[in-house]
Structure 1
Amino acid sequence: MAAEGALKCVKFLVFFFSFVFCLCGAALAAAGAAVSLALGRAPLAPGGAGGWSPAAVAALGGLIFLSAFLGCCGAWRESHCLLTTFTVLLSLIFLLELAAAVTGYVFKNKVHGLVEDGLWAAVRGYEGDAALSATVDGIQRELSCCGVNNYTDWASVGSFGANDSVPSSCCRQPGASCNLRPTPATVFAKGCLPSLEAWVGRNVVVLAAMALGVAFFEVLGVVFSCCLMRGIRSGYEVM
């Protein structure tokens, strides 16, 4: 009786952890998608993420949700097959999340170069690409900044250098000629690089921390699932 009582407790814990993983998987998928969309608006240098992306973390969240659903069904029906599938998937996901957290941390250390190169490319292509100009204007308005390092960076860009001007998105107060002959009094003096770098870094760190936090609880889920599988195979009645 004591063994059966213990297995009932384990069954409840497996079901509880599986339900929590369902919620965590959905949250991780939503966060990954949100960060992916947010970073999609940031001008980053291509090919520098080393295979890491928020979209991959979102897909991982979806996989967690699916495996957790199998865990809930397996615990409720006391299915050795479903619990085995749940345990194997959860173990693989745990390893993937550790890899995501580590590569996310490595990616964070590369943020400065990726942001700087991408931002310079966006500034230099401002006049020839409407999408880039809209992105740069949005960043400069949102972060109250101008250029990469400061507003004088625009002096090396096409007609801005020839006309001694900057984009109107640099203006502190919109006006008919606020972007002509710019000074720190009329335009944002600071560059966009520090603020954009910090913004990208925060998004990456939060997502990696979420993946690592879920991975910690998955270890407990695997342990309890293995205990329940052992009890089911031993023939105990756990209902």
Structure 2
Amino acid sequence: MLRKSKSLILKYFLNLINGAFLVLGLLLMGFAAWLLLDRNNFFTALNESNHLIVYISGILIGTGSAIVLLFLLGYLGIQYEIRWLLVLYAVLLMWAFGVQVVLSALIFTKKEEVHQVWHDEIDLVISQYGSKDVPEDILKWTILNALQKTLQCCGQHNYTDWITNENKENSEQVPCSCTNSTLRKWFCDEPLNATYLEGCENKINTWYQANALSLIGINFGLLVSEVLQISLTVSFFRHIKNRIFAE
């Protein structure tokens, strides 16, 4: 009787956490579908040819599908007490945990390096923006336009960053995305009171600081749930093994 009760309790908690993985996988796949189908979101605006969106959506769908597959393996192993499936499930969970830890460590240790690369790249994009000599960079300019228009910012530090650009018809011009203008061209002549004065770097840093705690919390929650699920899976495997030997 005690063995049966323990088995039911372990199954309950294993299925509960496993169900959370299913929800996460379905959310990722749903978000990917939204990116592909919705033409009125910021991400679609980043790339008019939509290749970038297809690539990102493919990664999200692949990740979501892997999580759903992990759920199915776990469900079958838990529900029907198939030991080799439980072992495979635990191994895949440990692999996912390891990958998540490595990626988190890389993001943390390379943060300043990535920031510097981003800083230099934006300066280069601003200096070449609108040039007829580098038409292959139109995608980068489109992304910068979408960023400035969406965040209502201009340049990296402020609107004066565009003074370094030599592709304007006159020195007073700024990108149309830096203004309230709806014109679809690279540069516009707009008064200062119709121009976004704040730089995009400040806007991005403000957004990051506001959301960093939530991102850390989600990541920590996933790591804890993975450790808990691995521990419960190992305990359930041992419980099944001991019960078989006892019989």
TM-score higher than 0.5: yes
Identify if the C-alpha distance between structure 1 residues 69 and 207 changes in structure 2 by more than 3 Å, giving closer, same or farther: farther
Letter in 2 for 1:3: R
Q: Is the 8 A contact 2:25 2:64 kept in 1?
A: yes
Partner of residue 227 from structure 2, selected from 215, 219, 225: 219
Q: Is structure 2 residue 155 aligned with structure 1 residue 147?
A: yes
Where structure 2 has 5 or more consecutive residues not aligned to the other structure, the ranges are 36-41, 48-55
Partner of residue 196 from structure 1, selected from 204, 208, 221: 204
Partner of residue 164 from structure 2, selected from 152, 156, 164: 156
> Which residue does the alignment assign to 1:4?
4
| TM-score between both structures, scaled by the size of structure 2 | 0.71
Q: Is structure 2 residue 100 aligned with structure 1 residue 92?
A: no
Deviations 1:64-114 (A, max 9, x none): 332222111111111111111111111221122222222233354445323
> Which residue does the alignment assign to 1:106?
109
Take 1:212 and 1:179, find their aligned partners in 2: how far apart are those partners? 46
Letter in 1 for 2:15: F
Letter in 2 for 1:192: C
How many pairs are equivalent?
Answer: 223
How far 1:211 moved relative to its partner?
3.4
Q: The residue matched to 1:71 in structure 2 has which SS?
A: helix
Identify if the C-alpha distance between structure 1 residues 34 and 222 changes in structure 2 by more than 3 Å, giving closer, same or farther: farther
Q: Percent identity?
A: 22
Partner of residue 193 from structure 2, selected from 164, 185, 192: 185
Letter in 1 for 2:91: V
Moved more, 102-111 or 224-233: 102-111
Take 2:228 and 2:130, find their aligned partners in 1: how far apart are those partners? 55
Q: Is the 8 A contact 1:154 1:160 kept in 2?
A: no
> Which residue does the alignment assign to 1:138?
146
List aligned pairs for 1:31-180, cutoff 5 A.
Answer: 38=43, 41=46, 62-110=65-113, 112-128=115-131, 129=135, 130-160=138-168, 162-172=170-180, 179-180=188-189
Q: Is the 8 A contact 1:97 1:212 kept in 2?
A: no
Q: The residue matched to 1:127 in structure 2 has which SS?
A: coil
Take 1:99 and 1:32, find their aligned partners in 2: how far apart are those partners? 24
Q: Is the 8 A contact 1:29 1:61 kept in 2?
A: yes
**RMSD between aligned residues:** 3.8
How far 1:117 moved relative to its partner?
2.0
Q: Is the 8 A contact 2:148 2:154 kept in 1?
A: yes
> Which residue does the alignment assign to 2:13?
13
> Which residue does the alignment assign to 1:235?
243
Deviations 1:41-82 (A, max 9, x none): 49xxxxxxxxxx998787555433322221111111111111
Take 1:60 and 1:110, find their aligned partners in 2: how far apart are those partners? 27
Q: Is the 8 A contact 1:108 1:205 kept in 2?
A: no
Identify if the C-alpha distance between structure 1 residues 33 and 214 changes in structure 2 by more than 3 Å, giving closer, same or farther: farther
Q: The residue matched to 2:117 in structure 1 has which SS?
A: helix
| TM-score between both structures, scaled by the size of structure 1 | 0.73
Q: Is the 8 A contact 1:115 1:193 kept in 2?
A: no
Take 2:6 and 2:116, find their aligned partners in 1: how far apart are those partners? 55
Q: Which has the higher contact order (CA 8 A, sep 6+)?
A: 1
